[in-house]
Structure 1
C-alpha cells in the first residue's frame, strides 16, 4: 500500500452504524435523505453516498448542481435534492441529470418554469419556506399565506411541486423555544396546504439536531448531515444521550526530530521559545492541508497514545510539536491530529471549539491534496 505524508482515514463502518442509528431514531413514517454536500463534509461523497443508501437512506442532498452531477455520473439513481440556488443556465443540466432544484421565491419559480417548458419536461421541485433562518426561502406574505403561493406555483406549466421544507436555525442549542416556534410555524403551513388540497407528498425540516432532539419535526423525511459522520451538531448537545461514531481520522508523519536548546524559538514570528532543552518533532501537515493556523500553540496531537502540544506557528505545509517526555519517538512515526490513538482521542468538534469554530468547518476544510483512505472496518 502506498504511504502518505498526511492522510484522512474514513471508516465506512462508522458511517453505516451512524446511518442505521439515525434511521431508527427517525419516525417510522419518515424516509431519510443523506446530506453529502461539500464532498460529504470532507469524507468523500461517492463512498459515503453508497454506504448511506445501503444502510437505510432513500435519497441524497447536495448544495450545488455540480455535486449532484458527480453523483449521477458515478451511477447513483436515487433522488437528489439540490439545496442551493440554481442559475437559469443550470436548469437544462438539472433536467438532464434528474436533479431536483429548490425554489425560494416566486421569481425563482417563474424563471425555472420558463426554462423547463423549453425542454418539454415538468421539473419536480421542493419549495423552501424561511421560518426563521433568515437565509433562503419564501417569507413575508408567501409564508403567511402559503396556499396562494403554492396554488400559483402549482399552475406553472414547467414545475411539479414534489416537496416543501424549512431549515432549523437553533436545533443544536440548549434553548429550545425558537426551534419549537419554527416547527409550529411550519406545521401550521402544512395544515393550511392540506386543507386546500395542496400539501406536497414530502415535507421535511429535521437536520441532524432536529432529528435527534425534536421528533415532532420528522414529518415525511429527515435529512441528517453532520451526524452521519459521527460529529455532534454542537458541543452543547449530550453526546451520551445519542452516541455517534466519528468516521474521520486525520494523521500525518513525523519527518524530523531535533533537540533545541533553551532560548531557541520555533517557526514564523518566534511565537514560542524553549525554556529548556526540548525535543521538537516536525510534522508533514499545515494550513495548506486544512489544519487551521489558529491552532498554533493552542492544541495537541497524539503520538504513541500520548499528547504532544503544538509549538510555534503552523506553516502552510508543516507544523512542530513538543515530544519531550514521550519515549522512543522516531522519524516516520504517525501523529494523530483528529481521531483516536490508544485510549485517547481528539474530536473534531472539541478541536474546533478551541478556535471558536465548529466541527463542520474543520472537516469540510480538509484540502483535496489530503488523500482519503477508505477503511472498511
Structure 2
C-alpha cells in the first residue's frame, strides 16, 4: 500500500488543518479505465481525454492527471493556459489541449511547450498565427464550433471567417490542423432531440472544413454524459470530466454505481466541540434551528470559507435541517446556518461521538456516506459545483486505497 500524501497547491508541507479532502487516486484510474473500456466496445480506436480543468474539479491538477493517464487517458484538457503549462512543468508529456482565451491571451509559451490550442473566433486565429511566427513553431490547432450550445465557438454558417485564414496559415507552415470539436448542451438527457441536432451540425462543420482543405487528426464532441450514454457522439476522442472523478454526469439515468464509477473525493473534518444544550436553544445565525429537546451539539470546523455551500444550511423552511453528514457511523443533518468556518449538528440526547471524531460530509454512498449528489440536490445545484468549489485552503490527502486513514 502506498502511504497517503498531503498536497496543496504551491505548498510542500502543511500545518494541521481542521478538515481535509481525501482523494483516492486509484478511483480516478479505475473510472477512466471503466469509461475507456465502455467506449471501446463500440469504438475501439476512440481516445480518452481527461479533463483536469479547475484544479481537476477540486481534486488536484497534477495528481489527478497522472492517475487518469494510468487509467488509459492519452490526452489531457484544461480550460486555462496556466493549467496546461503547470502540467508541462510537472513533466507530463501527454497531449494537452487548452481552450479558453481572450484577445489578451499570450500563446507563445503554449506553443513553446507543445500544447494544443483551441480557436473559436477570428482574434484567436490571428493571435495564434502571430505567435507561431514569433516562436518559429507550428501551432497545433483545434477548431471550436458552436453546434447549438450557444457558448464558445463559431457557428457553421460563419465558419469561413476562421477556416480560410487557418488554411492559408497551414500552407505557410504556421499552423497544423489537429482537431475540430464542439460541446453538447443536453448530453445528460440522452433522449433529448438537441443531441441529434448537434451531432448533425457537427458533421456538417466537419464536412465544410474538410471541403475547404482542413485535415483533422481528431474530431471530438462527447463529454462525460455522452461518453457513457451516446455512442453516436464518440468520433475519435471523448472528453471525460466529471465521470473520471466518480460522479454521475447523468443522475437522471443512473448514479455513480450504475455507471460503474467510484467517487474519488471524501470530504471530512474533525469535530471541534461537543456540548450539551437545553431544549429550545437557538443554533447559529438567525436561529433557523432550535433544539427540540435537551441534546448534544457538535461543531464541525468547515464552512463557506472552505467551499461548503451556504445553501446546504438548515432553514425554517426545511425544519432547520440541511445537508446530511455521518458521525460515528450515524447519519445526521446540518442544524441551522452554515457559517464561514464552521457549522453545527444536533446529535440528539444520546451519542457515541467524541470531540476529535471524524465527520464525513460527503464521499462514497457505497460506504454509507452522503454523496455529492445529495448535497447538490439540497443546494439546488449540481455535483460538479459541490466538489469544484472546495477551497484551496482545504488540504488534499492522496491515497491509493479506499481507506480513509493511513
Query: Structure 2 CA distance, aligned partners of 1:48 and 1:25?
Result: 21
**8 Å Cα contact 1:305-1:343 kept in structure 2:** no
In the alignment, which residue of structure 2 is the partner of 1:224? Answer: 240
Residues 1:323 and 2:339 aligned together: no
Distance 1:163 1:244, change over 3 A: same
Match runs of 1:357-376 below 5 Å: 357-376=381-400
Question: Counterparts of 2:350 and 2:233 in 1: how far apart (Å)?
Answer: 50
Q: How far apart in 1 are the matches of 2:304 and 2:211?
A: 54
Matched residue, 2:285: 268
Report the Cα offset of residue 48 of structure 1: 0.8
Pick the aligned partner of 2:185 from 140, 155, 169: 169
Q: 1:125 to 1:195 in 2, by over 3 A?
A: closer
**363-372 or 305-314, which moves further after superposition?**
305-314
Q: 3, 7, 19: which one pairs with 1:6? A: 19
- Indicate the residue corresponding to 1:295 in structure 2: 312
Aligned residues of 1:234 and 1:349 also touching (Cα < 8 A): no
Counterpart for residue 337 of structure 1: 361
Aligned to 2:88: 72
Equivalent residues in 2 for 1:244-263, closer than 5 Å: 244-263=261-280
* Partner deviation per Cα, 1:238-269 (whole Å, 9 max, x = no partner): 23542211000000011111111122111111
Distance in 2, matches of 1:341 and 1:139, equals 42
Q: Distance in 2 between matches of 1:10 and 1:241?
A: 21
- In the alignment, is the contact (CA less than 8 A) between 1:106 and 1:153 conserved in 2? no
Identify the range of structure 1 (270-279 vs 211-220) with the bigger mean alpha-carbon deviation: 270-279
How far did 1:234 drift? 3.2
Instruction: Give distance in 2, aligned partners of 1:69 and 1:343.
Output: 37
- Aligned residue in 1 for 2:260: 243
Counterpart position of 1:113 = 129
Secondary structure of 1:95 counterpart: helix
Q: Which residue of 2 aligns with 1:46?
A: 62
Per mean C-alpha deviation after superposition, the further-off stretch among 236-245 and 103-112 is 236-245
**Residues 88 and 112 in structure 1, CA contact (< 8 A), matched pair in contact too:** no
Alpha-carbon distance in 2 for matches of 1:325, 1:275: 10
The SS at the match of 1:227 is helix
In 2, the alpha carbon distance for the partners of 1:342 and 1:184 equals: 39
Structure 1 126/342 Cα, relative in aligned 2: closer, same or farther at 3 Å? closer
How far the C-alpha of 1:213 sits from its partner, in A, is: 0.9
Going from structure 1 to structure 2, the CA distance change for 1:98 and 1:371 (only over 3 Å counts) comes to same
* Cross-structure match for 2:114: 98
Alignment check: 8 A CA contact 2:48 2:75 kept: yes
Q: TM-score, normalised by structure 1?
A: 0.94
Q: Which runs of 5+ in 2 are unaligned?
A: 5-14, 315-321, 402-406
Question: C-alpha root-mean-square deviation of aligned residues, in Å?
Answer: 1.9
Say yes or no: does 1:304 pair with 2:328.
yes
2:29 equivalent to 1:16:
yes
Structure 1: runs of 5+ lacking an equivalent: none
2:312 aligned with 1:313: no
Aligned mate of 1:25, from 34, 38, 41: 38
Name the SS for the 1:125 alignment partner. Answer: strand
SS at match of 1:167: coil
Tell me which of 88, 103, 122 is aligned to 2:138.
Answer: 122
Give the deviation of 1:326 after TM superposition: 5.5
Name the CA distance, whole Å, in 2 between partners of 1:163 and 1:228: 22
Normalised by the length of structure 2, the TM-score is 0.87
How many residues of Structure 1 are paired with residues of Structure 2 in the alignment? 374
The answer to whether the 8 A contact 1:88-1:115 is kept is no
Hey, what's the Cα distance between the residues in 1 that align with 2:399 and 2:267? 13
Displacement of 1:355? 1.4
Counterpart position of 1:159: 175
Aligned residue number for residue 373 of structure 2: 349
* Kept after mapping to 2: 8 A contact 1:306/1:326: no
3-state DSSP of counterpart to 1:374: strand
Choose which of 165, 171, 179 in structure 1 pairs with 2:195. 179
